[in-house]
Chain A
Amino acid sequence: MSETLLKVRGLKIGATVFPPGEKPHDITIVHGVSFDLAPGKVLGLIGESGAGKSTIGLAAMGYGRGGVKITGGEVFVNGRDILKGGIKGLRELRGAEVTYVAQSAAAAFNPAKKLMEQVTEAAISHGKFSKSDAEKRAVALFAKLGLPDPENIGERYPHQVSGGQLQRVMTALALCPEPDLVVFDEPTTALDVTTQIDVLAAIKEAIRDTGVAALYITHDLAVVAQVSDHIMVLRGGNTVEYGDTDQIINAPVDDYTRALVTVRSIDHEEKSPSDNPVLQVKNITARYKGTNFDVLSDINVELHAGQTLAVVGESGSGKSTLARVITGLLPPSHGSIEFGGHTLTPDLPNRPMEDLRELQMIYQMADVAMNPRQTVGTIIGRPLELYFGLRGEEKRKRIRELLEEIEMGDGFVDRYPAELSGGQKQRVCIARCLAAKPKLIICDEVTSALDPLVADGILKLLLDLQKIEDVSYLFITHDLATVRAIADSIAVMYQGRVVRYGPKSEVLAPPFDDYTDLLLSSVPEMELGWLEKVISSRKMESAGN
């Protein structure tokens, strides 16, 4: 075996794009990237969306997603230039020498086939193992990755196991054919923070024990710091910085890397509660039609004028359901909601227009929350017409003001959503909310789909607007860093209940209840060896009990 397992030289990747209203043309996504990976080592590829990190990872398997093509450079695996071997050579490489772990295991498994069949398929079809040997190896990997009932879990179908378990099975799938290199493409991004830490630990242990090399692709620097030996920071298809993990984290040279390391720099002074609550959620219990369990049980929270209440929890904790109850989309089975001094009608269709105006909402997916065939001006102008009857010049003036407020010029009035970046789309959604002059805006995971630096800009904007407009936010998120940045008070939700509630300074200070402790300690920190520290302290605790 040669010294370097994977050698990439001057890799150029292009794609054909079809922008609306323009002729299709070729663009370059990756502009000549080079790196080496020695056997058994882990290289982290990090960058924001569009940086080309996944594209580079897949290029190590000679694969281009959709219309993506490798246009130049060389990729050597075990000393062989894989781009010169044709499709036949690539098929011998894929699933045998190099394997892949996808971001969403839930989508990456064939729903019609049992897990065992899918895990062993590559190893068998490449003739690496016989069927029974491959199955034995799979069971051993299931056990190593900490899956429950490793002997039988392979008999299940993908929908019968949880997301975190599926991601481990995917790792087993990648390791089963004894590859030399595994490409991990955001393997923990879709998981809850408390699940992520376990999967991350399992992946790291599996990499160490099998001696496989890995390309670890993620947008989260704190995560990649835990698993990789080297890190390459990418931006717009170019290498920004490439070095030791220790150097990148502790002594970044480039400004962009420094910005990534120190992201979430927002400092927000907590406001003390006034005696003027905008929203009071009283004893709310709710369940979905046709089910027999409560998704929310006995929720009591309060939000004051000009302040932010952050509702944190994992997926399934009921935080988005709470938003549905407050907006009237899901009438509660018990309890009431006081808003601006009066009780809200439980169901949306019967609410007076004035209540609808004063309670607005911003969503996670800005691009599907806007009509793609309307211009920014029409989108923002609609609530102005609906609630205030503004027309003509008056309306145009107000639209310009709103665009000013969200720090976008009036040059955007005639643009369509497809012509905006992710952050700009979310800003337009914010402007649409503000147009209604609401008292309360419910923000449902509004920064989760955005890159960290862009998300930071949105949070700053929201805080600035709060000062100007005196609006309150009910901020739903799973991200504790976001909570720290903007909340005045916090409600921690778990399995449909509020397990901890109070001003930010109290909620985030010990002594913690068990769940909040688990949640807080699971958030990856930008520090080498953090993962081992947390895992070993948890082991000690459980041994102590």
Chain B
Amino acid sequence: MHPVLTLVAQRLALGILLLFAASALIFVGTQILPGDVAQSILGQSATPESLANLRKELGLNEPALSRYFSWLGNALQGDLGTALTNGRDIAESLGSRLGNTMFLAGTAAVISVPLAIFLGLLAVRYKDRWPDKLISAVTLTSISIPEFLIGYVLMYFISVKLGWFSSVAMINDGMSFFEKLNAIALPVMVLVMVVLAHMMRMTRAAILNVMQSAYIETAELKGLSGFQVIAKHAFPNAISPIVNVVMLNLAYLVVGVVVVEVVFVYPGMGQYLVDHVSKRDVPVVQACGLIFAAVYIGLNMLADIISILANPRLRHPK
């Protein structure tokens, strides 16, 4: 077998193992939360008999280990259980919301990743001159302000004062693609501003590191232009660290949009999670946790695999 395939297979196996570990942590975490699910459903006035009945019905009297495995077994088959609060199938309610979150995160990613890399390259090209300093200052400012504040500020100026986009990012299935894009314009802007700085700075640092190499001097002594040297000779060797930070930010886009979704009343995973955490709806919290963990681990695994594939020594062994 090609050594790269072995390495990739190892990463995949490790990712799956990690996902199992994460599922166990999520389960344990929700178990040690104070309070009792039956109590919180029925309220303070519940009788001991009705509490006991509900506990039995929910399977809360089973040992934790067997509950974990039955939960995990069901989750693997796509059955995430039913929400305690409204009795609806979790997988079904999550499905459309996950789609919405992915749409929002995906749009933000499609804009922010190329933009961050381009700004990073630009900053390297004009290192220590005004474009570099301007890019650094602006991105650093945007990452330093909490995203809910950016959200409200944008809402005030762009939507209230200028009236360009809607301040509430409500979307539904009846809308066309462009109507949807129009609706999510503001939250996308906020997300882009939040993730841009991190990726741009890493691109800049990774490429500057590569720029010290002897082969960059070779390229300069071939008479190539500054941007050719950076894009053709430095960037291909800086892919690995850049991909890693890009993936971390993509994961953040999916997992960390909770606050932004709430600010813009966007019907995504974040809203759904926040709603049910406040109602102590354990199966929903577990299901959301599992999906977030899968996204996180999946994207980081992808970063590892891309790093392996980007390394010519691994791709073309002697």
Instruction: List chain A positions with a Cβ less than 8 A from chain B.
Output: 61, 63, 65, 90-96, 99-100, 102, 104, 107-113, 118, 121-122, 125-126, 156-157, 159-160, 173
Contact = CB atoms under 8 A, between A and B. Distances in A.
Contacts of A104: 214
Contacts of B219: 110, 121
B221 interface: yes
A113 B237 CA distance: 10
A446 to B, nearest CB: 26
Given A95-B224, A159-B318, A160-B318, A111 B218 contact: no
A111 B214 contact: no
Interface in B106-162: none
B313 interface: yes
Contact of A159 (B225, B236, B312): B312
B236 A102 contact: no
Nearest to B239: A112
Closest 4 CB pairs of A and B: A95-B222, A94-B223, A95-B223, A107-B214
Contact of A110 (B223, B225, B233): B233
Nearest to A96: B223
A110 B237 contact: yes
Contacts, number: 76
A157 B223 contact: no
A102 B223 contact: no
Contacts of B224: 91, 95, 121-122, 125
Nearest to B221: A100
Given A110-B233, A111-B312, A160-B316, A94 B222 contact: yes
Contact of A121 (B214, B222, B313): B222
Of B213, B217, B222, the most chain A CB neighbours within 10 A belong to B222
B146 to A, nearest CB: 39
B79 interface: no
A175 B223 CA distance: 15
Contacts of B217: 63, 65, 102, 108
11 contacts: A95-B221, A95-B224, A100-B218, A107-B213, A108-B214, A108-B218, A111-B215, A111-B237, A125-B222, A156-B316, A159-B316
Nearest to B237: A112
B214 A63 contact: no
A159 B218 CA distance: 17
A257 to B, nearest CB: 30
Nearest to B315: A157
B2 to A, nearest CB: 15
Nearest to B238: A112
A122 B313 contact: no
Given A102-B217, A104-B214, A125-B223, A112 B236 contact: yes
Interface string B235-262: 0110000000000000000000000000
B145 to A, nearest CB: 37
A93 B223 contact: yes
Q: Is the contact region of chain B dominated by helix, strand, or loop, or is it mixed? A: helix
Contacts of A118: 218
A158 to B, nearest CB: 8
Contacts of A122: 222-224
Interface in B290-318: 310, 312-313, 316, 318
A109 B214 CA distance: 8
Contacts of A93: 223
Contacts of A102: 214, 217-218
Nearest to A106: B214
Contacts of B312: 111-112, 157, 159
Contacts of A111: 215, 237, 312-313
A185 to B, nearest CB: 10
A122 B223 CA distance: 7
A373 to B, nearest CB: 23
Contact of A61 (B214, B221, B237, B310): B221
Nearest to A88: B225
Nearest to A65: B217
Contact of B313 (A99, A100, A159): A159
A263 to B, nearest CB: 29
A203 B228 CA distance: 29
A330 B115 CA distance: 50
Contacts of B222: 94-95, 99, 121-122, 125
Contacts of A108: 214-215, 217-218
B312 to A, nearest CB: 5
A513 B16 CA distance: 58
A112 B222 CA distance: 17
Given A91-B225, A157-B312, A110 B220 contact: no
A125 to B, nearest CB: 6
A157 B318 CA distance: 9
Interface in B192-235: 213-215, 217-225, 228, 233
Contacts of A96: 223
A109 B218 contact: yes
A63 B220 contact: yes
B111 to A, nearest CB: 27
Contacts of B225: 91
A55 to B, nearest CB: 13
A63 B312 CA distance: 30
A113 B236 contact: yes
Given A63-B220, A118-B218, 7 more contacts: A94-B221, A95-B223, A99-B221, A104-B214, A108-B217, A111-B313, A121-B219
